[in-house]
A and B are shown apart, each in its own frame.
Chain A
Amino acid sequence: MRAIPLPPVHPEFMLEPILDAGSGRDAIGLGQRRGEGLDVRHGTVLTLEDINVSFDGFKALNSLNLYIGVGELRCIIGPNGAGKTTLMDVITGKTRPTSGKAWFGDTLDLTRMSEVQIAQAGIGRKFQKPTVFEALSVFENLELAQKADKSVLASLVARLSGEQRDRIDEILQTIRLSGSAQRQAGLLSHGQKQFLEIGMLLMQDPQLLLLDEPVAGMTDAETEFTAELFKSLAGKHSLMVVEHDMGFVGSIADHVTVLHQGGVLAEGSLEQVQADDRVIEVYLGR
């Protein structure tokens, strides 16, 4: 009896277009939907194609292709210098790619938008080193992050509605900082700052969350809690997590991308990439 080889799994195929309601809009001249209802007809929230970034001849990213589906939780791993942070810089507009395409949804060209526009369009980012507004209280940090009109004039007259206040309290509970709401953020512990920054991202309510080493400096219990949190977020939001902690990656990700020397080395489930010879070679130098 011959064993029938299973066809290789291509996760892209598993993410069939979920929303197809708008496909006729272009044809009948309605134009594309923007902003609140991000156009994700093709099921991808982020499309990076053939991205190149070079710094004075050094290629930080090299013909990189990456697609992140709606509601997906994607982990990015890779050795130091693989281009993980540069990748985040490109997505958030901090670094302009030398060439290549970067689309948010189907209609927003990230290479033409400023950092602020990208943030307002619905991409949130957590830095590698936790960055919070240290002179403000935890509550105020969350208030500033809250999704609202962020123009100068609006800020001058802004008052918190009861609803917004409830939302902040809710997030405070989620990130377990209710008791420290009035504490100065600069006085929090490293792990607490990580949570506060995650909380700020949640307040922003973005379509896509980019998280750079979110569990660094957390205790095991906190890490476990974060994993639960992220899993509950997936579905509603798309997440891209850069992490070195393989245990954490294994506990959350169904789909992992391995970066090496600015390009995608392997993609698939954690077991698949861990079994990949090239990945083993890169990590273990065999």
Chain B
Amino acid sequence: MNQPLLVTASQKAGPRWTLAIGAVVLLVLLALPLLSLLPAGHSLQVSAYTLTLVGKILCYAIVALALDLVWGYAGLLSLGHGLFFAIGGYAMGMYLMREASGDGLPAFMTFLSWSELPWYWVGTQHFAWALCLVVLAPGLLALVFGFFAFRSRIKGVYFSIMTQALTFAGMLLFFRNETGFGGNNGFTHFRSILGFEITAQSTRAVLFLLTVALLVASLYLGWRLARSKFGRVLTALRDAENRLMFCGYDPRGFKLFVWVLSAVLCGLAGALYVPQVGIINPSEMSPTNSIEAAVWVALGGRGTLIGPLLGAGLVNGMKSWFTVAFPEYWLFCLGALFILVTLYLPRGVVGLLKKRGEQ
């Protein structure tokens, strides 16, 4: 009786269909890594390329979901989520670099003729600490930035611009060699993770399954949040912040919580992205990447949970096809997508489907 409208609406639109399609997609995703383990040449074998590509898109889907939590529900359009994603990736990359270099220094540091590790690399040879960093680094950064931003009631486009400037600053910082993260080239040439060879089919399969698990977990978390009173407060915040304040809610705490949560989700996605793709460099932090994430969410339909996943899949699928077939025209396509979605699909693909369902 007291569920948010979105949930009730999606139930009306045909919960059976949603569930059935969801289940099929999940089954396919679970089957992919198993099929990749088949011997080469088998007709059903899934190539490492395909597995990596889908794994990458799944990581992006988590970012889209995280972005949707702050944009779709709380109305804060972040143009800096790539920063949190990359920081999570770098935290995992630090561990992988240490694992690859053994007792010595990572190769790029010897190249800079550094004699010892900078202080922030301490402990990164331990997988557990690296995992902590994956959560803590983006989380703390989001906490500090969010605290100041929400305290001074920065919202709307101002907030978007500030987050964009933040990720831009981060990119410049990581481009420097002196920062100690490999400069331009970032981290690459990983060998193993927890002793398992990183390019082995089985390792890839496990990483893929972990990504699927994280995606499902984030989806569940998002669903629980959207259904809770917290989710309704967020929606209220988006539409009438003043009214909410005079109801006795402190908007800052709510914004900060969902903002940090979203950043941490991004960090985790980044941490799974790096071992699968095998490289992380500062261009992940470029404002272009972050704003592209916004179009995934917009295309899929913000304020819904399935929409961002759908959007991330569609756009990235198109991107990988275009960049092979017509590399020069991809930016035209992406640009047109930005314009068409905002003009004609304000509620995204999911909104369109719902409209069809209701008619």
Q: List the interface of chain A (C-beta within 8 A of B).
A: 92, 114-116, 119-120, 124-125, 127, 131-137, 139-140, 143-145, 150-152, 155-158, 160, 182, 184, 200, 204
Q: Are B230 and A136 in contact (CB under 8 A)?
A: no
Distance of A143 Cα from B2 Cα, bound (Å): 9
Q: Are A140 and B248 in contact (CB under 8 A)?
A: no
| Nearest 6 CB-CB pairings of A with B | A119-B248, A133-B236, A158-B229, A155-B230, A120-B248, A131-B243
Q: Are A140 and B243 in contact (CB under 8 A)?
A: no
B235 within 8 A of A: yes
Q: Are B232 and A140 in contact (CB under 8 A)?
A: yes
Distance of A144 Cα from B248 Cα, bound (Å): 10
Chain A residues lying within 8 Å of B248, measured Cβ to Cβ, are: 116, 119-120, 150, 204
Q: Are B253 and A152 in contact (CB under 8 A)?
A: yes
Distance of A150 Cα from B228 Cα, bound (Å): 13
Chain B residues lying within 8 Å of A184, measured Cβ to Cβ, are: 5
Distance of A124 Cα from B232 Cα, bound (Å): 20
Distance of A200 Cα from B230 Cα, bound (Å): 18
CB distance from B68 to the nearest CB of A (A): 15
A155-B2 contact given A119-B245, A119-B248, CB 8 Å threshold: no
How many pairs of A and B residues are in contact by the CB < 8 Å rule?
87
Q: Are B242 and A144 in contact (CB under 8 A)?
A: no
Other-chain contact of B246, A115, A133, A134, A137 (Cβ < 8 Å): A115
Q: Are A135 and B239 in contact (CB under 8 A)?
A: yes
Chain B residues lying within 8 Å of A140, measured Cβ to Cβ, are: 2, 4, 232
CB distance from B90 to the nearest CB of A (A): 29
Q: Are A132 and B243 in contact (CB under 8 A)?
A: yes
Chain B residues lying within 8 Å of A119, measured Cβ to Cβ, are: 245-248
B148 within 8 A of A: no
Closest A residue to B255 by beta carbon equals: A152
Closest B residue to A94 by beta carbon equals: B242
Q: Is the interface of B mostly helix, strand, loop or mixed?
A: helix
Distance of A120 Cα from B228 Cα, bound (Å): 21
Chain B residues lying within 8 Å of A134, measured Cβ to Cβ, are: 239-240
Interface string of B223-242 (1 = CB under 8 A from A): 00100111011011011101
Chain B residues lying within 8 Å of A127, measured Cβ to Cβ, are: 242-243
Q: Are A144 and B5 in contact (CB under 8 A)?
A: no
Question: Interface residues of B, CB < 8 Å — how many?
Answer: 28
B321 within 8 A of A: no
Q: Which of A116, A157, A200, A204 has the most CB of B within 10 A?
A: A116
Other-chain contact of B228, A115, A116, A136, A155 (Cβ < 8 Å): A155
Chain B residues lying within 8 Å of A152, measured Cβ to Cβ, are: 230, 253-254, 257
Distance of A48 Cα from B240 Cα, bound (Å): 28
Q: Are A136 and B5 in contact (CB under 8 A)?
A: yes
Q: Are A204 and B239 in contact (CB under 8 A)?
A: no
Chain A residues lying within 8 Å of B233, measured Cβ to Cβ, are: 144, 155
Interface string of B270-298 (1 = CB under 8 A from A): 00000000000000000000000000000
CB distance from A148 to the nearest CB of B (A): 9
B249 within 8 A of A: yes
Distance of A127 Cα from B4 Cα, bound (Å): 25
B194 within 8 A of A: no
Q: Are A139 and B2 in contact (CB under 8 A)?
A: yes
Q: Are B240 and A133 in contact (CB under 8 A)?
A: yes
CB distance from B259 to the nearest CB of A (A): 12
Distance of A204 Cα from B232 Cα, bound (Å): 17
Q: Are A155 and B1 in contact (CB under 8 A)?
A: no
Closest A residue to B253 by beta carbon equals: A152
Closest A residue to B232 by beta carbon equals: A140
B244 within 8 A of A: yes
Chain B residues lying within 8 Å of A139, measured Cβ to Cβ, are: 1-2
Chain A residues lying within 8 Å of B5, measured Cβ to Cβ, are: 135-137, 184
A133-B1 contact given A119-B245, A204-B248, CB 8 Å threshold: no
Distance of A155 Cα from B236 Cα, bound (Å): 13
Chain B residues lying within 8 Å of A133, measured Cβ to Cβ, are: 232, 235-236, 239-240, 243-244
Distance of A158 Cα from B229 Cα, bound (Å): 6
B178 within 8 A of A: no
Q: Are A151 and B236 in contact (CB under 8 A)?
A: no
Chain B residues lying within 8 Å of A200, measured Cβ to Cβ, are: 247
Chain A residues lying within 8 Å of B228, measured Cβ to Cβ, are: 155-158
Question: Which chain B residues in 41-65 approach chain A with CB under 8 Å?
Answer: none
B197 within 8 A of A: no
